[in-house]
Chains A and B, each alone.
Chain A
Amino acid sequence: MIELAWLIPLLPAIAFFIIIFLVRPLRLFSALTAVVAIGLSFAFSLAVLAEVIWRGISMEQPLELASRWLALPGLTVEAGLLIDPLTAVMLVVVTSVSLLVAIYSIGYMHGDPGFSVFFAYISLFVSSMLGLVVANNYFQMFFFWELVGLCSYLLIGFYLHRPTAVAANIKAFVVNRIGDFGFMLGTFMLFLGFGTFNFLELAEAFKGANPAFLTLTALLVFCGPVAKSAQFPLHVWLPDAMEGPTPVSALIHAATMVAAGVYLLARGFILFASAPQAQLVVAYIGGFTAILAATMALAQEDIKRILAYSTISQLGYMVMAMGVGSLTAGMFHLTTHAFFKALLFLAAGSIYHALDELNIYRMGGLAKSMKITSGTLVIGALALAGVPPFSGFWSKDEILLAAYSHGYAGLYVLATITAFLTSFYIFRLVFVALFGRERAAFHAHEAPGVMTVPLVLLAVLAVVAGFVGAPFVAHGFGSFVYFAEPEHAVPNITVMAVSTAVALLGIGGAWWVYGRRQPASEPLAAVAPALHRLLYHRYYIDDFYLWIFRVIVLGLGAAFNWCERHVVDGIFDGLADCIRASGRRLRRVQVGRLQSYALVIFAAVVIIVFWMALPVLGGIR
Chain B
Amino acid sequence: MSFPVLSTILLAPVAGLLTILCLPEREERLIKITAAVATFVSLAFSVYVFLAYDKAKAGLQFLETIPWVQPFGINYALGVDGMSVPLVLLTAIVIFTGVFASWDMEHRVKEFFVFLLMLVTGVFGVFMSRDLFFFYFFFEVAVIPMYILIGVWGSTRKEYSAMKLTLYLLVGSAFALIGLISLYLAGSAALGYPTFDIATLGSVGYDLSFQRWVSFLILFGFGVLVPIWPLHLWSPDGHVAAPTAVSMLHAGVLMKLGAYALLRVGAFFMPEGIKFWAPLIAVLCLVNVVYGALVAMQQRDLKFVIGYSSVSHMGYVLLGVAALNLFSITGAVTQMFAHGIMTALFFALVGQVYHKSHTREIALFGGLAHQMPRVAAGWLIGGLASLGLPGLNNFVAEFLIFIGAFTREQALFGGLLSFRVIAVLATLGVVVTAIYVLRVFKHVFLGPRQAQWDHLRDAHGAEVVPIAVLCGVLILFGILPSPLVDVIQVSVGSLVAKLESAVQIGGIF
Chain A residues within CB distance 8 Å of chain B: 68-75, 142-144, 146-147, 150, 153, 157, 160-163, 166-167, 169-170, 173-174, 177-178, 181, 184-185, 188, 191-192, 553-554, 556-558, 560-561, 564, 568-569, 571-572, 576
Contact = CB atoms under 8 A, between A and B. Distances in A.
A564 B430 contact: no
A368 B403 CA distance: 61
B403 A191 contact: yes
B174 interface: no
Nearest to B230: A568
Contacts of A553: 294, 297, 432, 435
Contact of B298 (A69, A150, A188, A561): A561
B407 A161 contact: no
B430 A160 contact: no
B489 interface: yes
A557 B294 contact: yes
B326 interface: yes
B384 interface: yes
A175 B467 CA distance: 29
Given A160-B446, A166-B447, A558 B427 contact: no
Nearest to A571: B230
A440 B233 CA distance: 61
Contact of B449 (A161, A188, A561): A161
B402 A557 contact: no
A70 B294 contact: no
B369 interface: yes
Contacts of B486: 71
B448 A161 contact: yes
B427 A181 contact: yes
Contact of A163 (B295, B298, B448): B448
Nearest to A184: B427
Given A147-B389, A192-B406, A161 B370 contact: yes
Contacts of B326: 72-74
Nearest to B442: A166
Nearest to B325: A74
Given A74-B326, A146-B390, A568-B233, A170 B295 contact: no
A147 B390 CA distance: 7
A282 to B, nearest CB: 22
A554 B299 CA distance: 11
A572 B230 CA distance: 10
A307 B407 CA distance: 44
A161 B366 CA distance: 10
Which 3 residue pairs spanning A and B have beta carbons closest together?
A561-B298, A166-B446, A143-B390
A161 to B, nearest CB: 5
A415 B412 CA distance: 49
B367 interface: yes
A558 B327 CA distance: 35
A160 B427 contact: no
A177 B403 contact: no
Contacts of A160: 367, 369-370, 445-447
A556 B291 CA distance: 9
Contacts of A150: 384, 389
A163 B485 contact: no
A478 B330 CA distance: 46
Contacts of B233: 564, 568-569, 572
Interface string B384-408: 1001011100001000101100110
A184 B430 CA distance: 11
B447 A75 contact: no
B407 A557 contact: no
A558 B298 contact: yes
Q: Which of A72, A153, A177 has the most CB of B within 10 A?
A: A72
Q: Which of B326, B428, B447 has the most CB of A within 10 A?
A: B447
B280 interface: no
Interface in B307-341: 326-327, 330
B330 A72 contact: yes
A188 B406 contact: yes
Contacts of A72: 326-327, 330, 400, 485, 489
A177 B430 contact: yes
B298 A181 contact: no
Contacts of A181: 427-428, 430-431
B500 to A, nearest CB: 12
A153 B327 CA distance: 31
Contacts of B446: 157, 160, 166
B200 interface: no
B356 interface: no
A564 B396 CA distance: 31
Interface string B435-466: 10011001001111100000000000000000
30 contacts: A70-B481, A71-B486, A72-B326, A72-B485, A74-B327, A143-B391, A146-B390, A150-B384, A161-B448, A161-B449, A163-B448, A166-B447, A173-B434, A173-B438, A174-B435, A178-B431, A185-B427, A188-B403, A553-B294, A553-B297, A553-B432, A553-B435, A557-B297, A558-B298, A560-B291, A560-B294, A561-B298, A564-B233, A572-B168, A572-B233
Nearest to B367: A161
Nearest to A69: B482
B18 interface: no
B167 interface: yes
B493 interface: yes
A177 B431 contact: yes
B30 interface: no
B189 interface: no
Contacts of B407: 188, 191-192
A198 B439 CA distance: 36
B363 interface: no
A192 B327 CA distance: 13
Nearest to A150: B389
Contact of B424 (A157, A185, A564, A568): A185
A163 B485 CA distance: 41
